[in-house]
Amino acid sequence: MKEAIEVARGIAGDKLVGVSGGDVARQCLDEGLREEIWVDLVPVLLGGGVPLLGALSNAPVVLEDPCPAPG
């Protein structure tokens, strides 16, 4: 995974490199390759499913507060 991200960053230059899919995102998190996580929520219930990121090997992953309190 690390090599694929390095190739993508080389191709992208100054642009962002995005990954899609929970398993790919989980692998990137496990290897410390993610700088940001964007999650789009859609108000639809689909029933059963697969966890977005599955089991992270380096959990918990501490995220910054997207809406810090003013002060």
What is the mean pLDDT for each group of 10 consecutive residues in the chain (71 residues)? 91 92 86 82 75 78 74 65
Enter the pTM of the model.
0.63
Which of 35, 30, 32 is closest to 18 using CA atoms? Answer: 35
d(CA 44, CA 59) in angstroms, rounded, equals 28
Instruction: Look at residue 9 in the predicted model and tell me its pLDDT.
Output: 92
Instruction: Look at residue 22 in the predicted model and tell me its pLDDT.
Output: 80
